[in-house]
């Protein structure tokens, strides 16, 4: 029984992280298209980017995290998303700032934990 719970936790956490990454990439591509067509200012783009990341983590957590251990699965999924998105944008040649890295982790964890708390209250 313990092995199946552990396997479920790992699978759901990885799913949450990967789905969040997919939704984040789709959102960023749409943002790039909208920014090009509508001339969105450079100061607004980082804020919209953070909002897109929050929405991506919320959607990934809502879809993937089920059953029990909501907080653990959501937190691991948020960290997986954070690591994958950091790696992806580092590969793409983005500038790396420690403050931005910490902000991304904090925002991802906060969004995932909030969704997990809401889901755990509804399941009880």
**Banded model confidence at residue 49, pLDDT cuts 50, 70, 90:** confident
Tokens of 41: 């200012």
State residue 90's pLDDT score: 82
Residues in Cβ contact with 122 at an 8 Å cutoff, skipping those fewer than 6 apart: none
Q: What's the domain count of the chain? A: 1
HSE-up (13 A, CA, CB side) for residue 63: 15
Domain with 85 in it: 2-123
Tokens of 15: 């799913």
pLDDT tens readout for residues 58-106: 999 988 888 788 888 899 999 999 999 988 888 887 677 788 889 989 9
């Amino acid at each position: 029984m313990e092995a199946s719970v552990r396997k479920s936790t790992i699978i759901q956490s990885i799913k949450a992280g990967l789905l969040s990454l997919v939704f984040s990439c789709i959102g960023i591509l749409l943002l790039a298209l909208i920014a090009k067509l509508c001339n969105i200012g450079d100061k607004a783009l980082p804020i919209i980017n953070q909002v897109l990341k929050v929405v991506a983590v919320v959607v990934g957590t809502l879809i993937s995290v089920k059953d029990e251990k909501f907080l653990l699965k959501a937190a691991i999924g948020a960290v997986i998303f954070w690591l994958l998105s950091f790696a992806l944008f580092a590969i793409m040649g983005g500038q790396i700032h420690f403050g931005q890295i910490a902000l991304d982790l904090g925002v991802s964890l906060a969004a995932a934990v909030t969704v997990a708390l809401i889901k755990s209250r509804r399941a009880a």
